[in-house]
Each structure stands twice: as C-alpha cells, then as structure tokens.
Structure 1
Amino acid sequence: MNIKKVLIGFIFLAVTSLSAHEFWVDSQNNITPSFNIGYGHDFPKLEKIAEDRVDIFEALKITSEKKTLELKRSSSPNYNYELNQKLENGSYILSGVYKPTYWTKDENFKWFKGKAKDEISTKATYCEKAHLEAKNIFSIGNKHSDIVTKPIGHKLEIIPLSNPKDYKVGEPFKVKVLFKNRPLKVSVVKATLEGYLKGKYAYYGRTDLRGVTEILPLKAGKWLVKVEVEKELKDNTKCDKEINVATLTFDIKE
C-alpha cells in the first residue's frame, strides 16, 4: 500500500511538471527597447528556451491603436525579439502565444511533445493539450490609449479595466476575464510579483458573474496576473485534458 502511494505521488509530480512553467511576455523600455518571452519557474527572470520547444511559440506582436506589428526573433538569446522602428508615445499590448500542443506521457514517465496518446509507440498513461496566451501592457510617454482595455481576440484573455500605467500601490484595480469572448464567471484568478516567494501567489480571488475581479497591489514592481481553465475530455482515447492559461503582466511604479 505504501509503495502504491509513493508511485501515485511520482505520477502526480510527473503530470504537474509541465504546468509548473509560467508563460509571460515582457517589455523593457530602456535606451534600447527589449521584448521577450518569459518561460520558466521564477517570474520575472528570463531564461533560455529549450531548443526543442522554441517552435511552440508564435512570434511576439505589438498592438497599438493604429495597427499590429509582428516582431522578429533575435539570434541570441532565443527568447528575445526585435522591433526595427521607433514607437510613438502611447500605450501598447505586447502579446504572445504558446500554440495548442499535445504532451503525452508513457508508462516510463517519458514525455512526447506534439503527440497525442494514439500517436506514440509505447503505452500512454496521460495526455494534456496545452494552449497558453500572454499579454504585457507598456506605455511610452504620458499619452492615454484606450486600446489596452479592449480584447485582442485570445481564446482566454485577461483585460485590465483601466490603464496599468495609472496603477498605484495601495489602490485596487479591476481586470476582466474572457473565455471564447464571454465573461468567465466564478473562476480563480491569481497574481504574483517580482521578489515574492518563488512558485507562490500574492493574490488569490475569483471573478464575479461579469468575469471581473479586483486586486489590491501592496508593492511596486513587475506583476503577473494568471487564470487557467481545465477541461476533462469525455473521449480520452486521444487525450485526457485541455488546458488554457492566460497571463497579463505590467509594471507598477512606486
């Protein structure tokens, strides 16, 4: 019986190891603007993406009131993207997508990327189809832009109801969550910030019937808001579960 419990524990760890990665996008507006994919266990630390996973990510995009621009990946580091033009004053949405991807685990605890249960030669014990979407809100200058409070069409999306450039420590702000263009009701929303406990969240709440929740920031820094939707598949011959995750990041100044 004890051995069985140990094995179940190992299986649980193996299953949850994939979802332990956070996915976010990051903008750093210094002398030379930098746009990055964050994919790791320690937000907001940027890490090199494993070469066999680079193809999972779509090119980053920047959306303004006028248009959407697709960025070009740098040669190094592989999480960095470049924009060969100057951005005007205003607020922008940097967005990224982790393409819908099958991850299947076999009886030997080996994971297969991009393959469903019926597509591997060994015995499959678990499969999840993961689809992750991320947004970062950043501003240049003091020009007000309403674009950041509007959806951009992600399947699962967190939308700030006011511009994050105006957020202040000690003053609550609201975000709305949409899933398939509809408010996601009574769903868990979590948030964390740089310097907080690794793998932990500083805020935990639920959306109301309008898909809205309110967050009180008690400290300045880089913030990440996250929501996740999991769906058990009725026909699990191909895969067991679909997972959609959305993150929203922004900076709160002192």
Structure 2
Amino acid sequence: MRNAVSAFVLLMSLSLNTFGHEYWLECDNFFLRVNESTDLRLFVGLALKKDAEKPYEAAKTDSFQMFSGGESFDVRPLAEDQRSPVLKFASDRSATYLVSMERNPSYIKLDAAKFEDYLREDGMEYVIAERKRLGESAKEGRERYSRYIKTLIQVGDSRTGSAKTRVGSRIEIVPLENPYSKKVGDDLKLQVYFSGFPLAERAVYADNRDGENYSSRKFTTDKDGKFTIKLTNKGVWLIRLVHMQRCSRNCSNADWESFWGTLSFGLK
C-alpha cells in the first residue's frame, strides 16, 4: 500500500509539472535543403529547457496539419501512435512550411495557493483579480486546459506566405512577417487571436535558446493583439502565452478554462 501511495504521489507531481510547462514542436534542423529530411519532435519544458520528449498521441490529438502554398494537409496518417519523433518531414519544393497541432482538453485541480502562483507566473493576474471579485481567492483552482502548438520549417531559399497563415485555432500566435526573412537584430511583428478576434492586453513571452544560452522576455499585446519582439540571438525561438477565462460550458469539472499557444522557429 505504501508503494502504491508513493507511486500515486509521484504521478501527481509529474502531472503538475507537465501541466505547468509548455509543449512545443522543434525540428532537429529548421533549415533544410530540398528533399533533405528532419525529425519533428514534441517537447515539454519551460522556456525552451527540455524536461521530456513526448510521443505522438493519437487519442489526444484533435488536429495535426501542415500548411504551404495555400493548401493544408492532414499529417495524422503519417504519424505513428506512441512513437517519437511525432513526424519525419521532407519536401521536394522550396517553401516555408507551417505545422500545427491541437491537443484535446485535459483537467487539473490545484489548491488555492498553487493556483495563484501559477497564474502570476504566466502573467494572468487578471484571473487573480477576478477570483477575488467572486470571493474565490481561497477556493481550489479547477481548470480545463487545451494546447495549440505551431512551428515553421524552411525548405530551400523561397520564403513564402505560409508563415503568416491563420489556421483557425481557438488561440493562435500569428507572425505578421516571415521569421525566415529575418536576421539577428531585426524586429518581428506578431499578432494573437482568440476565437478569431485579436486578443488585447495579454502577456506573451519570447524565449530563445542559442546553444547552452537561454533568455526570455515578456511582452504585452496592444489593443489589436499585436506586439513586436527583437530577434536578439540566433538559435531556437519560442513565442508562447496562456489565456484563461471563466468556464462557459460543460463545466461540471472546471471553473476555468485555459488555452495554451506556442509558435517555434529557428534563426541563423
């Protein structure tokens, strides 16, 4: 019995740690020659520091698509359930490719103190204020959360408009310029949408990993959901945010629902 309890506590700890971290897609190589292949991997971690690699999970994946040349392709038939990497990619056409993955909702409960710590860490003080207004500051946080994960891959020299494609996810980070047309020191303009509309005054984070060097900066979207980052370093970039609102339907197990969005790309 003691071993069973210990295993349960460990499982809950791992679940909480995984919940509080980002999921992102990352290629072994973001810059490919025509017909060159790369592995696309799904990682969980914090600010591009990898905790674990996740396999493709068919039962938890609502959508897995690729966009290029004005067309979209369902790549779920190409992915193997419970296998890593989540996709092997190659293309015979020079272009920018957008890959989008949506994972179905999960649920979690946190005690009031841990819930508030998490809200503050991810820039959601507005939820802390709303809980206070509702007299729920001492109440546990019951949350339903979903993840919306995007990445950009560059094949050959042709920088195409696929990078700026809106895929229609519930929450979505959209570059207004192709990051693969940028160099170190340039600015990059982006926009956040929620339910199809610009999401104003929300915290967004831009993380960079250049070898063993990590950095992270916080931004706030303007009234049109826009913000601008400076591409200070080469390496892997991850743009991320979490938006939370009061649960509006099917709420027997949740008082709040959150939407986690990420966008990753490389810079050289």
TM class by shorter-chain length? 0.7 to 0.9
Rounded Cα–Cα distance in structure 2 between residues aligned with 1:228 and 1:248: 12
Q: Which runs of 5+ in 1 are unaligned?
A: 1-12, 107-123
Mean alpha-carbon deviation: is it higher for 170-179 or for 137-146?
137-146
**Which of 218, 227, 230 is the matching residue for 1:213?**
227
* Count of residues paired in the alignment: 220
Deviation at 1:75, TM superposition (A): 6.7
Helix, strand or coil: the match of 1:219? coil
Change (3 A) 1:75 1:19: closer
Change (3 A) 1:237 1:154: closer
Contact 2:96 2:155 survives alignment (8 Å): yes
The alignment status of 1:28 with 2:28, answered yes or no, reads: yes
1:143-158 superposed matches below 5 A: 143-158=158-173
Contact 1:59 1:73 survives alignment (8 Å): no
Q: Which runs of 5+ in 2 are unaligned?
A: 1-12, 112-138
Change (3 A) 1:44 1:88: farther
- TM-score normalised to the size of structure 2? 0.71
Helix, strand or coil: the match of 1:60? strand
Rounded Cα–Cα distance in structure 2 between residues aligned with 1:89 and 1:243: 37
The alignment status of 1:185 with 2:185, answered yes or no, reads: no
Deviation at 1:240, TM superposition (A): 2.2
Name the counterpart of 1:55: 59
Give me the CA root mean square deviation: 3.2
Rounded Cα–Cα distance in structure 2 between residues aligned with 1:149 and 1:214: 15
Contact 1:135 1:249 survives alignment (8 Å): yes
Mean alpha-carbon deviation: is it higher for 137-146 or for 63-72?
63-72
Name the counterpart of 2:258: 243
Contact 1:74 1:82 survives alignment (8 Å): no
Deviation at 1:39, TM superposition (A): 2.1
Name the counterpart of 1:70: 75
Contact 2:247 2:254 survives alignment (8 Å): yes
Mean alpha-carbon deviation: is it higher for 171-180 or for 70-79?
70-79
Helix, strand or coil: the match of 1:67? strand
Deviation at 1:50, TM superposition (A): 7.7
